[in-house]
Amino acid sequence: MSLSTDRDDDGVAFGFRRVAESEHGGLVGRVFDSVAGRYDLMNDLMSGGLHRLWKSTLVARIAPRPGMRLVDVAGGTGDIAAAFLARGGGEAIVCDVNEKMLQAGLDRRLDRGILEPLPQICGDAQALPVRDSCADVCTIAFGLRNVARRPAALAEMRRVLVPGGHFLCLEFSPAVLPLLRPFYDAWSFHALPRLGGLIAGDSDAYRYLAESIRAFPGPDQLAAEIGEAGFGNVTHLSLSGGIVRIHSAWRVD
C-alpha cells in the first residue's frame, strides 16, 4: 500500500474519528466557520505567541525577493502572504476553502488601516483554482492536516509551482520530545478546549485541533508522502522541541 494514502474502507480521519470523505469537508468547514472571528487571537493564546516565530522562520526559509510569486494554500487570514510581501516578495495569493477565514483576514487588514488589497481566492487545496506553474513558492501552514486527501493536495501544490519551485509546509507534529509530551498533552487535551470554549465559544473545535495533530503522520512519513507526490530534496526542520516542523521540498523537473 502506498505510504501516502490516508483513506481506507472506514473513511478518512477527522481527529480521532473516521468519517465518510463526503462529510469531511463540511465538518472541517464548520470548525473554521465557528472560530474564524477569534482565530488569530486564539493562535496567540494557545501558542504563547510562538506561532509568530514559527511563521517568521518559514518566511525566512523562503528568502523573499522582488519578482518572486507565492501561492499560500489554506492561507486563512493571510499572515504568511503579508509577511512574504513585507520582506520583499513580489506577488502573493492567499487561497483558502473557507470564506469566513478569508473575510476575517480582510477585516483585520482594514482594522489596521491597510487598504491595499491582498489577492484572495476561495478554493480547495485538493483542486486549486490557479493555473499550472504560476508560483515560485507554494506554502501551506497548519492546513495540511485538515485536508481529506493529502496526496491530491500535495500533487496540486506541485502543479502550481514552476520547475525549480520551492514547497514549504509548516505543521504541528506528533513527534514531540518525550520530556515535553506530558505537559503538551495536558495543555492540548484539557486546557486548550477550555480556552477555546471561553474565547472562541467552541471547545469542540479545539478538541478537534488536538486530535488532528495526534492523528497526523510523523515527520518521516510525511516526508515520504511529499516525495511520492513528485517533489525532490525533501527535508524537515524541528522547532520548539518537535511541536512543529517545517518540511521543505522542490519541484525538480
Domains defined for the chain, CATH in brackets: 7-251 (3.40.50.150)
Specify the pLDDT at position 8. Answer: 53
3-class DSSP assignment, residue 28: helix
Least confident of 149-153, 182-186, 231-235: 182-186
Residue 2 pLDDT grade (very low, low, confident, very high; cuts 50, 70, 90) = very low
Cell of 68: 518572486
State how far the Cα of 202 lies from the Cα of 123, in Å rounded to an integer.
25
**β-pair partners for 191:** none
Cell of 148: 481529506
Pairing state between β 161-172 and 135-141 = parallel
Residue 5 pLDDT grade (very low, low, confident, very high; cuts 50, 70, 90) = very low
**β-pair partners for 167:** 138, 249
CA-based nearest residue to 138, from 56, 81, 87: 81
Specify the pLDDT at position 4. Answer: 40
Which amino acid is it at 77? T
Specify the pLDDT at position 224. Answer: 98
3-class DSSP assignment, residue 234: strand
pLDDT at 199 over 90: no
State how far the Cα of 35 lies from the Cα of 200, in Å rounded to an integer.
6
Of 142 and 33, more confident: 142
Q: Torsion angle of alpha carbons 245, 128, 109, 194, nearest 10°? A: -50
Specify the pLDDT at position 113. Answer: 82
92 contacts 81 by C-beta, under 8 angstroms: yes
Specify the pLDDT at position 243. Answer: 94
Least confident of 79-83, 194-198, 220-224, 242-246: 194-198
Specify the pLDDT at position 253. Answer: 86
Q: Tell me what the mean pLDDT of segment 134-138 comes to.
A: 98
pLDDT at 1 over 60: no
Instruction: Give, as one character, the DSSP assignment of residue 132.
Output: T
Average pLDDT value for the chain: 91
pLDDT at 91 over 60: yes
Dihedral sign for Cα atoms in the order 141, 169, 124, 213: negative
- Write out the H or E segment, with its range, that includes residue 227: helix 219-228
- Per cent of the chain over pLDDT 90 is 68
Of 81 and 197, more confident: 81
Residue 3 pLDDT grade (very low, low, confident, very high; cuts 50, 70, 90) = very low
Specify the pLDDT at position 6. Answer: 53
